[in-house]
Amino acid sequence: MHGGVKFYTGRAVDARRYVEADNFGADDYYLGEGSGVADRYVVSGSKVERAPAMDAETYERWVSGLDVETGQPKGRLRKEGVKFVEVTVNGPKSWSLAAAAHQDVSVAYDAAQRRAAEQILAWVGEHATTRVGPQGRQVQVRVDQLDAAVVAHRTSRAGDPHWHLHLQVSSRVWAQGKWRGLHTVGFRESIAAINGIGHAAVMTDPSFRAALAAHGYHLDLVSGEVIELEAYGEAFSARSKQIGHNIDRYETLWRGEHPGGEPGPRLRQAWDRRAWADERPDKVVPTSGAELEKHWRDELAELGFRMPRRSVDLLAPWPGMVDRDGLAAEALSRLGARRSAWSQADARGEAEQLVAESGLVVAAGVRGEVAEDVAARIIAASVPLLGRDDVPVDVRALTSPRVAAVERQLIRRFAGRAGEQGRRVDLSRARRTIAGLGRDQIAAVAYLAGSEQLVVIEGAAGAGKTAALAATRRILGMQRRRMVVVSPTLKGAKVAAGHVGGSAYSAAWLLRQYGFRWDDHGHWDHVETIPHEAAWLRRGDLLVVDEAGMLDQDSAVALVKIADATRARLALVGDRHQLPAVGRGGVLDLACHYAGDCHVDLDGVRRFADPEYAKISLWMRAGKRPEAVFDRLLARGEIVVHASEVEQLAALADAAATAEQDVAVVADTREQVARINGLAQQERAAALDPSCRFATRKGEQIEAGDRVATRRNNPDADVANRETWTVHEADRKGVVLQSHVHGRSGRRRVSWDYAQDHLELAYATTTYGVQGETVAVAHVAVGTHTSASSAYVGMTRGRVRNVAHLVADSIDDARKQWVEAFSRDRADLGPTHAAQRAAEDIERYGPRQIRRARGSAGTGMDGLARRPAATSNTHGIGL
């Protein structure tokens, strides 16, 4: 299982349409006679009981928060509140292909998914909470009983084999003698445990694994894929994406002709048949599940799949053979590589993933015991961030000794640099160099070109940070000193190089030059090496980290070690209000704390053509008056409200397809981006050349003229992750890409293997793909996944215009969503910040009344929350 939690807040009458829209209309398995729309479960603690299935009318009552037997409301119901929370129980594509090919595998997979859902519900029933008490003095208590619905599907919305369950937990729960509201924040924060249990439950299920082995199939224990079927999923996905894009287009046109209407199941089935026929003009459209299964088997045969001839032995270790301490140590390393702090739920999720990878094939009770034991060992080996025993299972209040040590070392080195006094440089002789800069930029240059050992330059989007760096490079050149610029990403380095007027490199490249090596799990090593001449630093040179807010703590420690060993000065340039690091961040926050007077905040905004928008952008950056910001943007025509998501995505696709290259379209999730890309490509069909069409392994069809992104750094081809291009041509040697920046001289050729693995359509992008870029116009999707930093970054890319697109029933609803987006800030800023946040979460959602004397951050980790005094620096590059 993978994915997050969905919160359904719509009308009960639309709930069935919501789940129906997720599958192909010909899928009649879950709507067969007598089966009902959804199965119902009643959960009390870890006890899960299956209740009678619900028909459409009963399901609507359940969604509404009514007792399905009496019709009475379960307590006080809020019209606009959350009706249920949902997770999807699914697996790799190849599991569904195996089920489509073999009836006995289908039966075993169905049963395994049901058992997985029940095991998830047992865990949720044990840990779900609600809040009781008067307003402002509420405390958390365990739930005594909760209701859940399970809706089974065997197809994707495009008609592909896709066995999955919608597991929906009602927001109305029973606790302390009355109906109350589920603590949805805790449910959301427990997603790692929920996903881990679901995945491991199916991976280790004896019946499912035996059915696969009987037909000669092997599982890759890390990915979970059926090795013999994995490659065939790509072909299904390619066609599936196109059918999905067709259905989106039909729905967009229909909604345009029927404003305020809602398509019913028959209309959706008609769209399904039409989309299927468009992509398979020589095929008969299936009208039943049996026909659909036959089509899947025929298609597998046409693709060249031949079923294994012999069964294989199902070899698995005994539970006693599992190295539980080893799994706990590996889990601790994985958790620490991804984040600064974790919860007991995170520990359980990681334990379940590792149990699945161990190869165990055992009954649910045995697997659960092993996973619980490994999780307990993870928790015991972790360091508590808070010195208290009332931390809820979903609050991230644990870290590891290594994670804590990295931050302490970073603090110590920053403090040491702050203790070495320096001076600003006199710029009176460099008037030509600083001509055109503002007073704040000149102040920044004076520090950057001086002798201070730690300098921080911070500023809003468009404040002119790179212009200050360009002037600094020229002044240092006159002083015969070097400035080496690095960025957390290679794409960011290339952008910085273009603005600064000199070379720039990825942080990873510089670290490698100085011998630093580490893997994805955070295992470090250091080797002796001779750096490339371009990486040489000496006393007085300036090492600049651009976009420093995105720098992770491990890389930061290594960069500071390089600066210490070479006696180079260090400058961090960025903005704490923009996107944080992927992983353990907070580097810029720590540097700002220790830089003191050498922290320059650029207060001007120079990017935008409209001075009023510059002021609005600063309000967004600070999170000030979000309601007023919304109203002003609405009056300016820079807020667009759509009635449905499909209309929102269609509008974004239209903006991407009809505009020139100097436009950015930004969405929150990769799923949204993929749908926008497909719709935009369809709109641009007349401008594309299908003669060089090729398919990627992710299922996208790419043609000459398409806008694409390279998704992996490749020094040999001189392309960077997230760089955008236009496909120029394709031949036997590979695909020729035309840069959006460098004109004819900016052509690159990538191999066919690279093109199929690492090219993707890029009419739209996520926020991380657009940070650092400046365009004429930006269009931004704002929704339930949007954070304050992503909204701010997206809405500050356009020089001329920035437009936010929301899905809402009314302007008031849209304003509420906007305000909520600017209140979301879950950036990982290191273990010290995590301790403070954990204490705040317990204060807000805690299990009992909290006194100020208890729960202060730092009592569980000596020295983490207390800033050390400045000390003399320690030189040397050793680990």
Q: Quick one: which of 814, 495, 804, 462 has its CA closest to 655? A: 804
- The tens digit of pLDDT for each residue in 272-320 reads 778 877 766 666 666 677 778 888 898 899 889 999 999 999 988 999 9
Assess whether pLDDT exceeds 50 at residue 877. no
- Three-state DSSP at 481 gives coil
Specify the pLDDT at position 30.
34
The tokens for 761 are: 């359509």
Instruction: Provide, rounded to the nearest whole percent, the portion of the chain with pLDDT above 90.
Output: 67
Please state the separation of Cα 227 from the chain's center in Å: 27
**How far apart, in whole angstroms, are the C-alpha atoms of residue 341 and residue 857?**
13
Beta bridge partners of residue 383, listed in sequence order: 399
The pTM is what? 0.87
Burial of 260 (0-12, 13-18, 19+ CB in 10 A): exposed
**How far apart, in whole angstroms, are the C-alpha atoms of residue 677 and residue 663?**
14
Detail the DSSP E strand segments found in 121-186. Answer: 129-132, 139-142, 146-155, 161-170, 172-175, 178-181
Q: Quick one: which of 24, 20, 89 has its CA closest to 244? A: 24
Instruction: Provide, rounded to the nearest whole percent, the portion of the chain with pLDDT above 70.
Output: 91
- Mean of the pLDDT values across residues 725-754? 85
Specify the pLDDT at position 267.
83
Specify the pLDDT at position 526.
84
Specify the pLDDT at position 876.
30
Q: How far apart are the first and last CA of the chain?
A: 38
- Three-state DSSP at 491 gives helix
Please give the C-alpha separations between residue 463 and each of 177, 575, 600, 603, 761, in angstroms, as whole numbers.
57, 10, 12, 7, 31
Assess whether pLDDT exceeds 70 at residue 873. no
Helix, strand counts (H, E) of the chain? 29, 32
The tokens for 156 are: 């994707």
CA pseudo-torsion sign 582, 587, 592, 598: negative
Please state the separation of Cα 582 from the chain's center in Å: 9
Instruction: Outline where 711-810 has alpha helix (H).
Output: 752-758, 767-770, 788-794
Beta bridge partners of residue 574, listed in sequence order: 458
Assess whether pLDDT exceeds 80 at residue 95. yes
- Mean of the pLDDT values across residues 193-222? 96
Close Cβ partners of 826 (under 8 Å, ≥ 6 residues apart):
787
- As a whole number, the mean pLDDT across the chain is 88
532: alpha, beta or left, given left = phi > 0 and alpha = psi -120 to 50? Answer: beta
Q: Quick one: which of 591, 552, 585 has its CA closest to 573? A: 591
**How far apart, in whole angstroms, are the C-alpha atoms of residue 263 and residue 414?**
59
Assess whether pLDDT exceeds 60 at residue 878. no
- Mean of the pLDDT values across residues 51-74? 92
**Which range, 37-41, 638-642, 692-696, 783-787, has the best average confidence (pLDDT)?**
638-642
- Three-state DSSP at 178 gives strand
Which pLDDT band holds residue 845 (cuts at 50, 70, 90)?
low
Q: Quick one: which of 823, 794, 870 has its CA closest to 626? A: 823
- The tens digit of pLDDT for each residue in 447-474 reads 999 999 999 999 999 999 999 999 999 9
Burial of 812 (0-12, 13-18, 19+ CB in 10 A): exposed
**How far apart, in whole angstroms, are the C-alpha atoms of residue 563 and residue 571?**
10
- The tens digit of pLDDT for each residue in 396-416 reads 999 999 999 999 999 999 999
Burial of 51 (0-12, 13-18, 19+ CB in 10 A): middle
Which pLDDT band holds residue 866 (cuts at 50, 70, 90)?
very low
* Triad 626, 628, 633: Cα angle to 5°: 95
| Burial state string for 58-79 with b = 16 or more CB within 10 A and e = fewer than 16 | bbbbbbbbbebeeeeebeeeee
- The tens digit of pLDDT for each residue in 789-812 reads 999 999 999 999 999 999 998 999
Assess whether pLDDT exceeds 70 at residue 264. yes
Assess whether pLDDT exceeds 50 at residue 717. yes
**How far apart, in whole angstroms, are the C-alpha atoms of residue 843 and residue 706?**
51
**How far apart, in whole angstroms, are the C-alpha atoms of residue 473 and residue 543?**
11
Q: What is the largest CA-CA distance in the chain?
A: 88
Q: What is the DSSP letter of 78?
A: P
Which pLDDT band holds residue 12 (cuts at 50, 70, 90)?
confident
Please state the separation of Cα 868 from the chain's center in Å: 34
* Triad 172, 173, 178: Cα angle to 5°: 105
- What is the helix (H) or strand (E) element at residue 119, kind and residue range? helix 103-127
**Block residue for tokens 């007349």:** 686
Which pLDDT band holds residue 861 (cuts at 50, 70, 90)?
very low
Specify the pLDDT at position 270.
82
- Mean of the pLDDT values across residues 683-708? 88
The lowest-confidence range among 212-216, 238-242, 821-825 is 238-242
CA pseudo-torsion sign 848, 853, 856, 861: negative
Backbone angles phi, psi at 785, to 5 degrees: -95, -5
DSSP β-ladder status, 759-761 and 707-710: antiparallel
The lowest-confidence range among 94-103, 428-437, 536-545 is 428-437
